[in-house]
Amino acid sequence: MKQLITANGAPASKLCFGTMQFGGKADIVASQSMYEDCRTVGINFFDTAYVYTGGQSEAMLGRFVQPERDDVIVATKAAYDKPATKANVLQSFEESRDRMKIDTIDLMYLHRFDPLTPLQESLSALAELREDGLIRYIGISNFAAWQVVKAAQVARDLGTNIDVLQPMYNLVKRQAEVEILPACVDQGISVVPYSPLGGGLLTGKYARNDAAGRLIDDSRYNARYDVPWMHDAAAALPQIAAQHETDAATLAVAWVAQNPDIAAPIISARSSEQLAPSLAAIDFEMSDALYSQITALSQTPAPATDRLEEA
């Protein structure tokens, strides 16, 4: 897989911090505290997006990285709510750069696959930015496996390459194992997945009667994780964590990071207190036996074949 490095040549940390909550559920004080927590444990890879919290996420992250710009990798994504035309991607880049007050964006993603805009047009914008030295790496997010392979070929035709894919991946959402991860391995693309905690499900908090959070308040997350066996897995994970004197969230993040096809899971939180168990995964040593025990809690997705009876 592609090894990302900072401008000063340091390798990307094995965890990435996602700043979706900056300027939303995390105010400036809480956001800076989490940024500093990440830097203390060695995280140098930070993820944001044009659409996060109306631009506040980018603005805050840009403010925090100013004193150590070359020591960190800053990733953002083109506007999700606009067609991925060349003009829109370039405009999105300029707005993101202006919000963050930085000259170069290390990693720029297409936030989603746009079926109405030719991929050649979308990627030509990123290829141009890379050629001009304004971005260092090209990424794609929320692409299916066939879209990943198509993007890789289009990028090669443009004289560049796709460096990173950002998909959803966690213990109860393992569909990426079927074709997305193999496609990335084949194409030499690093995988930086989001949602290792399954929207909070894998922290175990939704097993309580007084639980509150996205899985209850957000219809999209409710539909995504309202599956009985997923909740059974989430209920069992804290029991395993207790046996190892750690937290369910730590195990959930460490489980994703243990996959050799994963470069860096994206962790996130709204406070330092909430972030701490995920941060602990950076130093957690997971044995093969523990990895297998945790994996057995979830359903392995069927392989990609039209002859499942022979698989």
- Give the tens place of pLDDT for each residue, 4-53: 999 999 999 999 999 999 999 999 999 999 999 999 999 999 999 999 99
Instruction: Answer for the pair 148, 187: CB distance below 8 angstroms, yes or no.
Output: yes
Instruction: Answer for the pair 26, 54: CB distance below 8 angstroms, yes or no.
Output: no
Place of tokens 């879209």: 147
Helix (H) / strand (E) element for 228: namely helix 228-243
pTM, two decimals, is 0.95
Look at residue 91 in the predicted model and tell me its pLDDT: 98
pLDDT at 208 over 80: no
User: How many Cβ atoms sit within 10 Å of the Cβ of residue 290?
Assistant: 18
Look at residue 222 in the predicted model and tell me its pLDDT: 79
Confidence of residue 307 (pLDDT cuts 50, 70, 90): confident
Long-range pairs of 144-151 with CB within 8 A, sequence gap ≥ 24: 144/113, 144/179, 144/180, 145/178, 145/179, 145/180, 145/182, 145/183, 146/179, 146/183, 147/113, 147/119, 148/180, 148/183, 148/184, 148/187, 148/189, 149/183, 149/186, 149/187, 150/119, 151/119, 151/123
Measured CA to CA, the distance from residue 99 to residue 204 in angstroms comes to 36
Place of tokens 């004080």: 29
Look at residue 209 in the predicted model and tell me its pLDDT: 62
Confidence of residue 149 (pLDDT cuts 50, 70, 90): very high
Q: Which residue in 93, 74, 77 sits closest to 16, CA to CA?
A: 74
Identity of the residue numbered 153: Q
Mean pLDDT over the full length of the chain: 95
pLDDT at 215 over 80: no
pLDDT above 70 as % of the chain:
97
Look at residue 306 in the predicted model and tell me its pLDDT: 87
Domains by residue range for the chain, with CATH: 16-200+249-284 (3.20.20.100)
Q: Which residue in 80, 73, 84 sits closest to 163, CA to CA?
A: 73
Q: What is the mean pLDDT of residues 155-169?
A: 98
Instruction: Answer for the pair 190, 2: CB distance below 8 angstroms, yes or no.
Output: yes
User: How many Cβ atoms sit within 10 Å of the Cβ of residue 2?
Assistant: 18
124-134 tens-digit pLDDT: 999 999 999 99
- 47 strand-pairing partners: 18, 75
Active site (annotated) includes residue 291: no
Look at residue 218 in the predicted model and tell me its pLDDT: 74
Look at residue 211 in the predicted model and tell me its pLDDT: 65
Identity of the residue numbered 142: N
Measured CA to CA, the distance from residue 165 to residue 120 in angstroms comes to 17
pLDDT at 81 over 80: yes
CB-based burial, 227-261: b 16+ in 10 Å, e otherwise: eeebbebbebbbeebeeeebbbbbbbbbbbbbbeb
Q: Which residue in 260, 235, 264, 257 sits closest to 248, CA to CA?
A: 235
Single out the catalytic residue among 52, 137, 194, 225: 52
